[in-house]
């Protein structure tokens, strides 16, 4: 019976993967079925032609420090953070780690917030540290707490006792039992193992390994570290090749497929230390990776500057930053932008090894704002978490200069009656949208000259033509969208039902 259930679940996963692949055909002659999904311009998925416009990566704004790692059970080696927005509460999970490379004294801590801006460390009374249980430790499990990374399980029908799930663990080369272990929790505070043994054992797990329920693939997906040569230990990475990313899938969170390495387009050239891959919260079919790009042996600050900021002597001869990767099929990371998403700043503290690593997940922190959190000042007395803000859907955009330009989408089919834009223009700029048939001919009444020009800065604005905004008669038909723009950005579109 168990075997049959697992086989049925595996077939369901396979069906989900086939549906995902079919849903993301790039062939120019096959219309893209986007339904009423929100689509972000973070890659060229929708775009067939760009004419004097460009895809632009938008830099998040540094909003400053939000949490200092200053308690005895935390310390300068805190890291591998996860931020979860659960109804009216934000939860931040992170590793508390006073010691250096030996892994001693590692625990998982939890901070809470009502707005994502102001954080507290609750006194949970679960584990003793520094002679007291008045702390925010939610788990103390050797090895597992090195990189414990929770998520809010979006699987339909998930038991209340398993609303939160997590993976954590290390590959112990002296024991075949090493690997990622599965945990669950009803409240995100009290955690219990789902199985005594590790559930994923093939990988190089000495980093943050992230999982989630994919509403598109209809299975659990885990992204974790490997090396490009397939070597699963971190001791000889210079020989092994680049740190890179693999993935595995599961129908039940306990039985996982064999890992498969992710592809990179264009090919990967540098180390990806952690991928932080997650479904974008406003468009879960789009996987976003705010990855830590690691440059070993690339030193920025001098020995004297290292002493000045009191960084641990073993942690300032490398540098790192954050890059944005995306995936629409779960198997390929699109490196549309090779430049940094978040650069190290003016502070010397940010130019050391293993700092600037983003927390998992982008979350909404205001009506028009979303936030990404980043660990800064690693291996220093000033170690802390920092918040960076962006407009909703504002990771990237199609950008037109003052001289103007245009872009045309691939043929697509939509569901709905209105076309809504997330856009911004200058006072002198503007945007018009032409709707064409599948062959690229303007549809009567929907030409660029028929479109009422939009000027302003809006998160969700309905396009209107002289005849109105109702597009219900065009739903289900192959169409193209031609955007004629001047001094403007288009961040996202979706059709409203």
| Domain residue limits, the chain | 31-58+396-496, 61-391
CA angle 494, 371, 143 (to 5 degrees): 115
Q: Say if residues 229 and 240 touch (Cβ distance below 8 Å).
A: yes
What Cα–Cα distance (Å) separates residue 393 from each residue in 39, 349, 390, 419, 458? 9, 30, 8, 16, 11
Go through 376-401 and write b for each residue having 16 or more CB atoms within 10 A of its CB, e for each that does not.
bbbbbebbbbbbbbbbbbbbbbbbbe
In 3D space, the residue among 388, 365, 389 whose CA is nearest the CA of residue 115 turns out to be 365
Fold of 31-58+396-496: Jelly Rolls (2.60.120)
For 492, residues 6+ apart whose C-beta sits below 8 A from its C-beta are 38, 39, 40, 41, 283, 393, 421, 422
277: nearest Cα among 315, 227, 327, 316 = 327
Question: Beta strand 263-265 with 332-334: parallel, antiparallel or unpaired?
Answer: parallel
Residue where the block lists tokens 């540094």: 62
Task: State the DSSP code for 73.
Answer: T
263 CB neighbour count, 10 Å cutoff: 15
Cis ω on the peptide bond leading into residue 266 (within 30° of 0)? yes
Distant-in-sequence, close-in-space partners of 132: CB < 8 Å, separation ≥ 6 = none
Rounded Cα distance between 351 and 319, Å, is 6
CA distance 270 to 139: 33
- Shortest CA distance to 221 belongs to which of 198, 246, 248? 248
Give pLDDT, residue 241. 82
Residue 302 token pair: 């001098």
What pLDDT is stored for residue 417 in this prediction?
A: 96
Strands (E), 335-417: 357-358, 363-366, 369-376, 384-391, 396-400, 405-409, 412-414
| Tokens 């416009």 sit on residue | 53
Q: Two tokens at 428?
A: 């002198």
With DSSP H G I counted as helix, E B as strand and the rest as coil, what are the percentages for the chain, rounded to 5?
Answer: 10, 45, 45
Q: In whole angstroms, what is the distance from residue 279 CA to residue 361 CA? A: 8
At 231 the pLDDT is: 45
In whole angstroms, give the CA distance from residue 361 to residue 355: 17
Separation between Cα atoms, residue 486 and residue 319, nearest integer Å: 38
Tokens (6 digits) for 326 = 């995306």
> Between β-strands 271-274 and 277-280, what pairing exists: parallel, antiparallel or unpaired?
unpaired
Is the separation of the CB atoms in 338 and 354 below 8 Å?
A: no
Superfamily for domain range 61-391: Glycosyl hydrolase domain; family 43 (2.115.10.20)
- Beta-bridged to residue 454, according to DSSP, are 431
Q: Note the maximum CA span of the chain.
A: 76
Within 8 A by CB and 6+ apart from 28, the residues are: 48, 410, 411
Distance from C-alpha of 359 to C-alpha of 93, rounded to nearest angstrom: 9
Alpha helices in 261-410 (DSSP H): 303-309
CA distance 259 to 226: 9
> What string of pLDDT tens digits covers the 497 residues of the chain?
333 443 444 444 444 444 444 444 444 468 999 999 999 999 999 999 999 999 999 999 999 999 999 999 999 999 999 999 999 999 999 999 866 555 568 999 999 999 999 999 999 999 999 899 999 999 999 899 999 999 999 999 999 999 999 999 987 544 445 899 999 999 999 999 999 999 999 888 989 999 999 999 999 999 999 888 644 444 444 446 899 999 999 999 999 999 999 999 999 999 999 999 999 999 999 999 999 999 999 999 999 999 999 999 999 999 999 999 999 999 999 999 999 999 999 999 999 999 999 999 999 999 999 999 999 999 999 999 999 999 999 999 999 999 999 999 999 999 999 999 999 999 999 999 999 998 999 999 999 999 999 999 999 999 999 989 999 999 999 999 999 999 999 999 999 98
Local structure of 192: helix, strand or coil: strand
């Amino acid at each position: 019976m168990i075997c049959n259930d697992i086989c049925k679940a595996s077939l369901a996963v396979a069906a989900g993967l086939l549906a995902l692949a079919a849903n993301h055909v790039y062939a120019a002659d096959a219309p893209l079925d986007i339904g009423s999904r929100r689509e972000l311009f973070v890659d060229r998925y929708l775009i067939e032609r760009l004419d004097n416009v460009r895809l632009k990566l938008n830099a998040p704004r540094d909003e400053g420090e939000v949490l200092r790692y200053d308690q005895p059970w935390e310390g300068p080696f805190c890291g591998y953070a996860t931020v979860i927005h659960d109804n009216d509460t934000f939860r931040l999970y992170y590793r508390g780690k006073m010691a250096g490379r030996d892994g001693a004294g590692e625990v998982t801590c939890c901070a809470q917030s009502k707005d994502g801006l102001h954080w507290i460390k609750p006194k949970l009374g679960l584990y003793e540290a520094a002679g007291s249980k008045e702390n925010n430790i939610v788990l103390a499990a050797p090895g597992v707490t090195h990189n414990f990374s929770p998520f809010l399980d979006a699987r339909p029908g998930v038991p209340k006792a398993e609303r939160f799930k997590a993976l954590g663990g290390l590959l112990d080369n002296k024991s075949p039992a090493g690997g990622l272990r599965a945990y669950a929790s009803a409240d995100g505070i009290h955690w219990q193992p789902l199985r005594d043994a590790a559930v994923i054992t093939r990988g190089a797990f000495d980093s943050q390994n992230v999982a989630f329920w994919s509403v598109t693939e209809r299975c659990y997906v885990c992204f974790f570290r490997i090396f490009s040569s397939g070597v699963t230990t971190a001791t000889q990475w210079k020989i092994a090749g680049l740190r890179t990313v693999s993935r595995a899938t599961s129908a039940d969170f306990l039985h996982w497929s064999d890992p498969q390495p992710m592809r990179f387009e264009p090919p990967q050239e540098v180390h990806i230390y952690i991928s932080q891959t997650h479904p974008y919260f406003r468009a879960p079919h789009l996987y976003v990776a705010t990855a830590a790009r690691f440059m070993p042996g690339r030193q920025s600050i001098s020995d004297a500057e290292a002493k000045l900021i009191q960084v641990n002597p073993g942690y300032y001869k490398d540098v790192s930053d954050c890059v944005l990767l995306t995936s629409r099929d779960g198997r390929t990371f699109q490196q549309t932008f090779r430049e940094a998403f978040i650069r190290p700043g003016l502070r010397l503290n940010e130019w050391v090894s293993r700092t600037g690593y983003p927390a998992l997940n982008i979350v909404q922190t205001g009506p028009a704002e979303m936030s990404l959190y980043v660990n800064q000042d690693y291996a220093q007395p000033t170690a802390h978490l920092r918040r960076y803000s962006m407009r909703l859907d504002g990771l990237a955009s199609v950008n037109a200069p003052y001289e103007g330009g245009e872009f045309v989408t691939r043929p697509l089919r939509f569901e709905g009656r209105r076309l809504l834009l997330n856009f911004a223009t200058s006072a002198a700029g503007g945007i018009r949208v032409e709707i064409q048939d599948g062959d690229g001919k303007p549809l009567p009444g929907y030409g660029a000259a028929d479109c009422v020009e939009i000027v302003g800065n809006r998160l969700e604005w309905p396009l209107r033509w002289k005849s109105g905004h109702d597009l219900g008669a065009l739903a289900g038909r192959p169409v193209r969208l031609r955007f004629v723009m001047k001094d403007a950005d288009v961040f996202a579109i979706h059709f409203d039902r």
